[in-house]
């Protein structure tokens, strides 16, 4: 019985140590989530203003052509798949990978290519010989625009060179701190710039001309969409990790409670046994 109590105490101490770690990880994830949410809020006005400018430009310059606006027969598709570099985030990575695999289902590997962000997705696709054109790993927990600019430029230029004919984003969309939703979102071609935008009736004069302005703005807009998706995915990652570590901490508390109850019962059993031995010894001595 004493050995049993020592074993239970050892397990309680181990679970308490684990609980301290998961609690610390939950707090760190919450702090990182706040920082990324601030970055998302700061980038939204820039993206909204660019959408407004492009909507007005598109409406004013109806005959301006640009490769990012052109729809063409789809022979090959590009996919930006955003996962995390690490685990311990609940179903975060599994949701994205599952959505991607479902999207690739029944597709010939020559008919698509992957731009992978995050080690978990990158490693999964490499092990299964999926075509990967480019990868970005070890991103900061609060990514900057410069950290994804090269990848964004590569995707935009590949589309302009007709290396693929449409581009989709696959990532976890941030809903709130406890809810993230895997999405498959079509991004290129940019053939719906005026959707949801109020187009002004004013007449605009462009310098040097509409084509030059469009050529300058459209690639930057597409790159900003990439950055926005990465920020959204990072917010989802931190939220998922915060929730997972919170659940782990709660489970540890429940386990500690059960172990403490077992310890008390073991102690009571040991005391009862000792009392019984004392009483039995006394009765034997008296007889």
Q: Which residues contact 103 (CB under 8 A, 6 or more apart)?
A: 79, 168, 170, 184
**158 and 141 in a common domain:** yes
**172 and 219 in a common domain:** yes
Closest-CA residue to 233 (of 100, 92, 125)? 92
Placement of tokens 């995050």 in the chain? 118
Please list the rounded mean pLDDT of every run of 10 residues in the chain (287 residues): 73 90 92 89 82 71 69 90 90 93 89 92 92 90 88 89 91 88 89 57 66 80 89 92 91 89 80 73 64
What residue numbers bound the domain in which 16 lies? 2-25+245-280
**190 and 88 in a common domain:** yes
Q: What are phi and psi of 49, to 5 degrees?
A: -65, -40
**178 and 260 in a common domain:** no
Q: Domain for residue 285, yes or no?
A: no
**183 and 89 in a common domain:** yes
- Residue 270 maps to which CATH number? 1.10.287.80
Q: How many domains does the chain have?
A: 2
**184 and 48 in a common domain:** yes
**256 and 163 in a common domain:** no
**205 and 84 in a common domain:** yes
Q: How many Å apart are CA 189 and CA 172, to the nearest integer?
A: 21
Per-residue confidence (pLDDT) for residue 38, from 0 to 100: 87
Q: Domain for residue 34, yes or no?
A: no
Q: How many Å apart are CA 231 and CA 145, to the nearest integer?
A: 9
Structure tokens at 193: 């710039």
Q: Domain for residue 231, yes or no?
A: yes
**176 and 253 in a common domain:** no
Q: Domain for residue 115, yes or no?
A: yes
Contact 56, 199 (CB under 8 A): yes
Per-residue confidence (pLDDT) for residue 2, from 0 to 100: 47
Q: Domain for residue 287, yes or no?
A: no
**182 and 105 in a common domain:** yes
Secondary structure letter of residue 194 according to DSSP: T
- Residue 232 maps to which CATH number? 3.40.1380.10
Q: Domain for residue 36, yes or no?
A: no
**271 and 183 in a common domain:** no
What count of other Cβ atoms lies within 10 Å of the Cβ of residue 36?
24
Q: What are phi and psi of 168, to 5 degrees?
A: -120, 145
Q: Domain for residue 52, yes or no?
A: yes
Placement of tokens 């955003």 in the chain? 82
Q: Domain for residue 148, yes or no?
A: yes
**223 and 89 in a common domain:** yes
């Amino acid at each position: 019985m004493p050995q049993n109590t020592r074993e239970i105490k050892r397990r309680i101490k181990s679970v308490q140590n684990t609980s301290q770690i998961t609690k610390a990880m939950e707090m760190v994830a919450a702090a990182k989530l706040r920082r990324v949410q601030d970055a998302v809020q700061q980038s939204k006005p820039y993206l909204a203003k660019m959408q407004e400018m492009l909507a007005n430009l598109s409406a004013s310059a109806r005959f301006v052509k640009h490769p990012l606006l052109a729809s063409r027969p789809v022979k090959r598709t590009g996919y930006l798949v955003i996962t995390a570099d690490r685990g311990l985030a609940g179903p975060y990575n599994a949701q994205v990978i599952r959505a991607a695999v479902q999207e690739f289902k029944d597709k010939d590997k020559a008919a698509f290519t992957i731009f992978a962000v995050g080690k978990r997705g990158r490693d999964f696709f490499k092990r299964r010989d999926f075509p990967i054109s480019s990868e970005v790993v070890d991103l900061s927990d609060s990514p900057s625009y410069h950290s994804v600019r090269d990848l964004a430029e590569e995707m935009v230029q590949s589309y302009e060179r007709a290396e693929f004919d449409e581009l989709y984003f696959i990532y976890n969309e941030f809903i709130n701190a406890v809810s993230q939703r895997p999405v498959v979102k079509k991004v290129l071609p940019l053939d719906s710039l005026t959707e949801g935008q109020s187009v002004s009736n004013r007449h605009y004069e462009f310098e040097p001309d509409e084509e030059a302005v469009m050529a300058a703005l459209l690639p930057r807009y597409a790159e900003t969409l990439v950055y926005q998706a990465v920020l959204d995915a990072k917010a989802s990652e931190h939220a998922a990790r915060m929730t997972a570590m919170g659940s782990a901490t709660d489970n540890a508390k429940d386990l500690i409670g059960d172990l403490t109850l077992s310890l008390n019962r073991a102690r009571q059993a040991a005391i009862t046994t000792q009392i019984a031995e004392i009483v039995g010894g006394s009765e034997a001595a008296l007889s």
